[in-house]
């Protein structure tokens, strides 16, 4: 059966106290809504319909996804009314899975269990048992344990409020029957809204089976209504990602002080120290070691490479057996081949350092190609910007760049060349020769330092 997913994302989120729509609040660096869309796709969605309202075009623009289908809920009249806005775009022979844009941690495997429990004659709802169910709709069962209705907190009596099994709002139902039930909803309740949960009673009256699939934990179905709940969800997600890596064999110095905000691929015997943040897609080879306080964003790190403390690598590709940092910064386009050493307070941007090259101290390498076994001395700068355009620096294999050198691009340093310390190189330096540029040193006899006036 075709799976059509409807995601409710029209809420304003007043308790967020933010100008950003609730479903665009960031979780692990991405909007809450993006996490729900990803889970829907992993669960096998053939089409995804998002019901939006508050935030309007801003919500649509944030996802940049032409495959999503959008339905506007101009007035927020309840969850049942919201789902009804998307139903014109859903085929009658589909199975509809209803998700929420502010419930981002439901696992795809849980969604699959929910989907498998539903069918032509079965409505499936996702429930969870809570130690403190206050505020949630209760799942009411008959003496045989069959679900007969869901009652909201404000409409529940004392006996119903004592029930610890609560409705999460997520459900799966045959589209044709769901369309029929939505058309019969009324708003005769304490909120004056059209509740999606009221379709349960209609399903029972129609003789269908209502199956409650119980989620494994409360954490999986946490909703986000304010910044406190957002922080709780962030913490759960952070722990979940850490556990995934631990099961793969990665060593985390402290799982509570590690944050993966995107996909991570790690080889064997990888070690990650405390306060490390991964963003975007990160790939780590065998035996990579990441020191404390490091940020990696969209990076690939080769086997046996060590990144020391306090480095920031963004969009970099690093080969095997490299040594990086501490306090190094790589900007997009940085490529290090095998056995390269880049030391403390060195910045690399849109440059390639070939095998065995070294830049160990206090240097800037931008828009450059650095050959094999090149030694870049402390304080060297590839002067790549003339105020309008960026220019390239080429350093041949085996060259030695003395400390404090300014390489004013465009310029080429030949293979095996030596550049004397303190030089400003504005013309090409020939291979296998010493090139230096220095102004005359002058000592002024009898000069005295100025003194402050009393």
CATH superfamily, domain 3-221, is Spore Coat Polysaccharide Biosynthesis Protein SpsA; Chain A (3.90.550.10)
Beta-carbon-side half-sphere exposure of residue 141 (alpha carbons within 13 Å): 15
Residues facing residue 72 across a β-bridge = 52
Residue 358, pLDDT score: 98
Catalytic residue among 35, 49, 361, 392: 361
Contact 423, 417 (CB under 8 A): no
| Block residue for tokens 């775009």 | 89
Helix 108-117, helix 32-42: angle, nearest 10? 50
Residue 143, pLDDT score: 86
Contact 233, 104 (CB under 8 A): yes
Residue 292, pLDDT score: 98
**Closest listed residue to residue 310, CA positions, set 283, 277, 334:** 277
In the three-class reduction of DSSP (H, G, I as helix; E, B as strand; rest coil), residue 447 is classed as coil
Return all residues near 380 (Cβ < 8 A) that are at least 6 apart: 359, 363, 364, 365, 401, 402, 403, 404, 405, 406, 407
Contact 398, 372 (CB under 8 A): yes
What are the structural domain ranges in the chain?
Answer: 3-221, 242-435
Task: Look up 54 and say whether it is catalytic.
Answer: no
Per-block mean pLDDT, blocks of 10 residues, the chain (454 long): 95 91 95 97 96 91 91 93 96 97 96 95 95 90 87 90 94 96 90 90 91 94 96 97 97 97 97 98 98 98 98 98 98 98 98 98 98 98 96 98 98 98 97 95 92 86
Cα–Cα distance, 127 to 108 (Å, whole number)? 15
CA dihedral over 18, 24, 29, 35, signed as positive or negative:
positive
Decide: residue 120, CB within 10 A, 0-12 exposed, 13-18 middle, 19+ buried. exposed
* Phi, psi (deg, nearest 5) at residue 170: -80, 135
Cα–Cα distance, 209 to 192 (Å, whole number)? 28
Contact 52, 10 (CB under 8 A): yes
Strands (E), 103-244: 122-129, 138-141, 147-151, 165-174, 209-214
Instruction: Look at the chain and count its residues.
Output: 454
Contact 284, 276 (CB under 8 A): no
Output the six-digit token pair for 29: 């660096």
CATH superfamily, domain 242-435, is Hexapeptide repeat proteins (2.160.10.10)
Model confidence, pTM: 0.88
Cα–Cα distance, 313 to 330 (Å, whole number)? 5
Contact 50, 101 (CB under 8 A): yes
Output the six-digit token pair for 248: 């793969």
Residue 433, pLDDT score: 97
* Phi, psi (deg, nearest 5) at residue 231: -65, -40
């Amino acid at each position: 059966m075709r799976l059509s997913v409807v995601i409710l994302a029209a809420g304003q989120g007043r308790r967020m106290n933010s100008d950003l729509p609730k479903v665009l609040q960031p979780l692990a660096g991405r909007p809450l809504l993006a996490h729900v869309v990803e889970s829907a796709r992993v669960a096998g969605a053939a089409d995804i319909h998002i019901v939006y309202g508050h935030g309007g075009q801003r919500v649509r623009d944030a996802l940049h996804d032409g495959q999503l289908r959008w339905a506007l809920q101009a007035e927020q009249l309840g969850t049942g009314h919201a789902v009804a806005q998307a139903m014109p775009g859903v085929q009658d022979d589909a199975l509809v899975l209803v998700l929420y844009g502010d419930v981002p941690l439901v696992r795809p495997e849980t969604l699959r269990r929910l989907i498998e429990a539903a069918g032509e004659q079965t409505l499936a709802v996702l429930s969870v048992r809570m130690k403190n169910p206050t505020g949630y709709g209760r799942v009411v069962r008959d003496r045989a344990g069959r679900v007969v209705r869901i009652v909201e907190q404000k409409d529940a009596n004392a006996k119903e409020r004592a029930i610890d099994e609560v409705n999460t709002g997520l459900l799966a139902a045959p589209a044709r029957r769901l369309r029929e039930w939505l058309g019969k909803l009324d708003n005769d309740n304490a909120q004056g809204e059209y509740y999606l949960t009221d379709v349960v009673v209609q399903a029972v009256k129609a003789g269908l089976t209502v199956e409650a699939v119980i989620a494994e934990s409360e954490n999986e179905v946490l909703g986000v209504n304010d910044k406190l709940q957002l922080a709780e969800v962030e913490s759960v997600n952070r722990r979940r990602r850490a556990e995934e890596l631990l099961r793969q064999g990665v060593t985390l110095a402290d799982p509570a002080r590690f944050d993966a905000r995107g996909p991570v691929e790690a080889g064997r015997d990888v070690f990650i120290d405390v306060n490390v943040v991964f963003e975007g897609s990160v790939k780590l080879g065998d035996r990579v070691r990441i020191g404390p306080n490091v940020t990696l964003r969209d990076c690939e790190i080769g086997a046996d490479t060590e990144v020391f403390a306090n480095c920031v690598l963004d969009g970099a590709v690093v080969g095997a057996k490299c040594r990086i940092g501490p306090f190094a910064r790589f900007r997009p386009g940085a490529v290090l081949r095998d056995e390269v050493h880049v030391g403390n307070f060195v910045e690399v941007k849109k440059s390639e350092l070939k095998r065995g090259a070294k830049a160990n101290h206090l240097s800037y390498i931008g828009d450059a190609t650095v050959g094999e076994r090149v030694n870049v001395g402390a304080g060297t700068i590839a002067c790549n910007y003339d105020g309008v355009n960026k220019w390239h620096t080429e350093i041949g294999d085996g060259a030695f760049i003395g400390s404090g050198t300014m390489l004013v691009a465009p310029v080429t340093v030949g293979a095996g060349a030596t550049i004397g310390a303190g030089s400003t190189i504005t013309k090409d330096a020939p291979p296998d020769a010493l090139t230096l540029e220095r102004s005359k040193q002058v000592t002024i006899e009898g000069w005295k330092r100025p003194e402050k006036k009393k």
